[in-house]
Structure 1
Amino acid sequence: MIRHLVLFKLNEGVGRDDPRAVAGAKAFDELGDLIGEVEFWECAWNITERPIAYDFAINSAVADADALKRYIEHPAHQAAAGQWREFATWVIADYPF
């Protein structure tokens, strides 16, 4: 199994109530059910406010490297990630567990 973690930081001036952020969160909330390769999916807004904190997180898992590649290339994932490119930056970590 591979854990796929993503942490999003909203761009300066973009709040969680921004319509783009609301739509982006909804797109990711629905993504886990749309892509067959996903074995585990959860995402949510961060509940703490610290200078080093990110704003939104995805914690997911897929079976193997091939499944991760299919997930990343899936049109639904590309569409959801494309929304976030307009108003946020992110970091990822993929590791076996």
Structure 2
Amino acid sequence: MIRHLVLFKLNEGVARDEPRVAAGVRAFEELGGLVPELEFWECAWNITDRDIAYDFAINSAVADHAALTRYLQHPAHQAAADRWREFATWVIADYEI
């Protein structure tokens, strides 16, 4: 099994309550039910207020490398990521569990 973690940082001047951000959050909230390869899916806003903290997180899991590739190439994932490219940057970590 592979854990796929993503941490998002909103770009300078971008607020959580902007319509485009809300649409991006909805796209990720819905993604867990749209991509069959996802065996575990959760996403949420960060609740801490530290300078080093990121703003939004995805924690997910897939069966193997092939499933991770299919997830990353899935049209719903591509569409959601495209939304976030407009207003955030992110870092990822993929590791075997």
Q: TM-score range by the shorter chain?
A: over 0.9
Unaligned runs of 5+ in 2: none
Task: Write the distance in 2 (CA, Å) between the matches of 1:67 and 1:12.
Answer: 34
Task: Write the distance in 1 (CA, Å) between the matches of 2:18 and 2:5.
Answer: 23
Task: Write the distance in 2 (CA, Å) between the matches of 1:49 and 1:20.
Answer: 22
Q: Is 2:41 the partner of 1:31?
A: no
Q: CA deviation at 1:14?
A: 0.3
Q: What is the Cα-based RMSD across aligned positions, in Å?
A: 0.3
Moved segments of 4+, more than 2 Å: none
Partner of 1:40: 40
Q: Is 2:86 the partner of 1:80?
A: no
Question: Would you say how many aligned residue pairs link Structure 1 and Structure 2?
Answer: 97
Unaligned runs of 5+ in 1: none
Q: CA deviation at 1:73?
A: 0.3
Task: Write the distance in 1 (CA, Å) between the matches of 2:22 and 2:52.
Answer: 22
Q: Is 2:89 the partner of 1:89?
A: yes
Partner of 1:53: 53
Q: CA deviation at 1:29?
A: 0.3
Identity percentage over the alignment? Answer: 77
The alignment's TM-score, normalised by the length of structure 2, stands at 0.99
Task: Write the distance in 2 (CA, Å) between the matches of 1:31 and 1:3.
Answer: 16
